[in-house]
Structure 1
Amino acid sequence: MTKPKFFNIFSRKKSLVKKTKKNKKKIIVDYREKNCLIPSELEKKGFEIEFKNLKVADYIVKGVAIERKTISDFISSTINKRLLNQLEELQQYENRLLVIEGIDEQELYSDKNPEKIGMHPNAIRGLILSILLNYNVPIVFTKNYLDTVKFIHILSKKKKREKPLNVNKKTLNQEERVQFILEGFPGIGPKTARKLLTKFKTLQNIFSASEQELKDAIGKKGETMKKIIDFKYK
């Protein structure tokens, strides 16, 4: 008598599950981001989320390190100097981004009411320029968390190859950091930067100074510097 053959009706289903999981794109997320809505939205888009205790960045998308800041966090981390440390740590990655989230929900700076923000608008403008020019970190401004999700989604499609860590990293002290920011302006070298700091003492005082005050301190370079400080980011 021929024995009946039994087929595992679940075998194909299991293989499909494995295949689906294998095809999912993985995003590494810092565990401190668990409380925000972005990871769950990324999961809805088919991403596999792996939470880790990241020492650098909030999201790693195919080798691109992303530091995410809401506007409030951007301001507060600037005031307490945490942002400068994070920007230095991002230098470990060849590909890095700073996401400033919430421009539809909150003002980044205000010329009419600077007290509302907590920082002088020119100080924020100067910081943005420094991030771009000195730290070489591209900035993405997003409307809200859903817009951030869309940027990450598009990034995952565009970036094809992971980049290795750059281990050649120098940690700057506080004076070097401040000087580093000023040296991002055209014509401002170490000597001129130190001259400005000796006269004005703080970055905020420098960014708040009038064109004439800057010219008195460093000559014609002050005129160029003032134009950049007052440049309105679109």
Structure 2
Amino acid sequence: MVASTRYLLDVVELKAPSKALLEVLVDSREFNVARQVVEEIRRMGVSVRVEYLDVGDYVVSSDVAVERKTVSDFVSTLTKRNLFEQLSRLRDSYSKPILVLEGDLSSIPLLSSINMNAVLGALATVARMGVSVVPTPSPSGTGRLIALLARQERRPQQGEGKRRVKAVRRSGLSDEQLFFMCGLPMIGRERAEAILRVYRTPLEALKRVDGWPKRVDGIGEVIVKRVKEVLETPFKV
């Protein structure tokens, strides 16, 4: 399947217009680690705008968003058990969610001791969730795929003006909960989200702060010690 995808991406020609009329949003964190993907999108004549995205790595339209995983990333997220949470959020935010699986699946036995049946079972679960799985052979292949998606998503009624893509934004109470958790020492947005995904509410998380290292990835005893110091030290004017 990967080989056939490579062939399709090789024969697709996207002629870049003199001025890019299409735009794709890329998450700022993804931008820092996937420059080849971004360069290929631009080379195909699609403009790239970098933003902090709440959901997904690339937003192609109001309907289509992409989560990109290299094969090694995919295996890693399986062992950490956060893949399905990421994709559930993607599916709940966009009507056409896509998981791009970048690289050679046959290399998995060389990268991890995880059973191949577990990998295939995970892919089957992703498909049953309603998330399309699209393999690509390389970062440049991923970039070409995203550029092609941008072309296909272009609405005829939009004419020749540049199409400005908007990302789905979560707001309201969830943002306030994240803001509250981010106020704790050494807890940034990613750790705050990880904590709340496990404990659901800030109150429950604070009640069970001693258990964070065992249940939350990226949280160790040093962080817990600093958080408890803030929570338990009497306030002094």
TM-score using structure 1 length = 0.54
Structure 2 contact 68–100 (Cα < 8 Å) conserved: yes
Shift of 1:34: 2.1
Amino acid at match of 2:77: S
Aligned to 2:140: 146
* Structure 1 equivalent of residue 95 of structure 2: 94
| SS state at 1:55 partner | coil
CA drift at 1:98: 0.1
**Paired residue for 2:56?**
57
How far is 1:58 from its partner? 0.3
* Residue number in structure 2 paired with 1:136: 130
Residue pairs, 1:16-165, within 5 angstroms: 23-35=20-32, 36=34, 37-63=36-62, 64-91=64-91, 92-103=93-104, 107=106, 109-110=108-109, 116-133=111-128, 135-161=129-155
Q: State the distance in 2 between where 1:141 and 1:122 align.
A: 18
In percent, how many aligned pairs have the same letter?
Answer: 30
* CA RMSD after TM alignment: 2.8
Relative to structure 1, the CA distance from residue 129 to residue 102 in structure 2 (aligned partners, 3 Å threshold; closer, same or farther) is same
Greater RCO, CA 8 A, separation 6+: 2
Stretches of structure 1 that go unaligned for 5 or more consecutive residues are 1-18, 168-172, 175-234
Q: What stretches of structure 2 of length at least 5 have no aligned partner?
A: 1-16, 156-164, 171-196, 199-237
Deviation at 1:131, TM superposition (A): 0.4
Structure 1 segments (4+ residues) deviating >2 Å: 106-110, 160-167
Supply the AA of the counterpart residue of 2:65.
A
Report which of the two structures shows the higher radius of gyration computed on alpha carbons.
Answer: 1
Paired residues, number: 143
CA gap 1:165/1:30 in 2 versus in 1, 3 angstroms: closer
SS of the residue corresponding to residue 141 of structure 2 reads helix
Structure 1 distance, partners of 2:55, 2:107, is: 24
| TM-score, normalised by the number of residues in structure 2 | 0.54
